[in-house]
Amino acid sequence: MAFAARLIAPLLALALAGCEGVVLPGSSSAPTPAAASGAAPARSVPPKPPTRLEVGGVVVAAPDGYCVDTRARKGSFVLLAACSAISQSPEHPAPGRMGLLSATVGKRGSGSPPPDADQLSSYFRSAEGRATLSYAGDPASVAITDARSQNGVFLLALIDRSAPPQPELGAARWRALFTVDDRLVSVILHSLKEDPISRDGGTALLQTFVARIRAANAG
């Protein structure tokens, strides 16, 4: 599970920046008594991470193969990755398209009125908007490859050529903005350098993520 552990570590490290006492997947720790003595530890399957979690009054529900990493939650932000990567257990599922998902939920009223798709598209295509999307704050590093509004969801696809904060992250990202119960929800899919996702594949995965969140909060 070393490869899977490397996939989740980058955004987990970002989400927990400044927090102490956190052990990242795949990081070293003090040896257990069994390891110190050379005895083979008893094999046990860890619990499967949750596939949904309430965040800021909104239930965040994962696409197939993804789970919520409760250790990476910071306020209204939550991170999702392959269930097997979070638990470091091959008995737990992994998605067909590997990536790192995140969701941020705004305060009540943050989604009223709903964001205007034309204004969002114009903003993110501007130098100021592209600077906010760039890891380096450089608008020249960002190319918008798709911007659309569909069924009340604003979808954005981009390539960021600036150096990512963690080398495991790829250049492609997708973002969606939509509302749930007058709260603005922002979800992001980060592609991974070792397992890149096509533009259409990333859009489809993010649309599935949005649909799962909406279904979990219906009614």
Q: What whole-number percentage of the chain has pLDDT above 90?
A: 59
Q: In this structure, are residues 84 and 3 in contact, taking their beta carbons and an 8 Å threshold?
A: no
Residue 36 is assigned to a structural domain of this protein:
no
pLDDT of res. 171: 94
Residue 58: domain span: 2-18+46-216
Reported as a single tens digit per residue, the pLDDT across 66-121 is 999 998 889 999 999 999 888 887 778 677 778 999 999 999 999 988 889 999 99
202-213 mean pLDDT: 96
| pLDDT given for residue 34 in this prediction | 45
pLDDT tens digits, residue range 16-46?
433 333 222 333 333 444 444 565 555 677 7
Q: CATH code at 69? A: 3.40.1000
pLDDT at res. 162: 94
Cα separation of 156 and 154, whole Å? 7
How many structural domains is the chain composed of? 1
pLDDT, position 77: 94
Q: What is the pLDDT of residue 1?
A: 40
Tens digits of residue pLDDT in 150-169? 999 999 999 999 998 888 88
- SS3 string, 172-214, reads EEEEEEEEECCEEEEEEEEEECCECCCHHHHHHHHHHHHHHHH
In a domain, 32, yes or no: no
Whether 40 is covered by a domain: the verdict is: no
Any domain includes 104:
yes
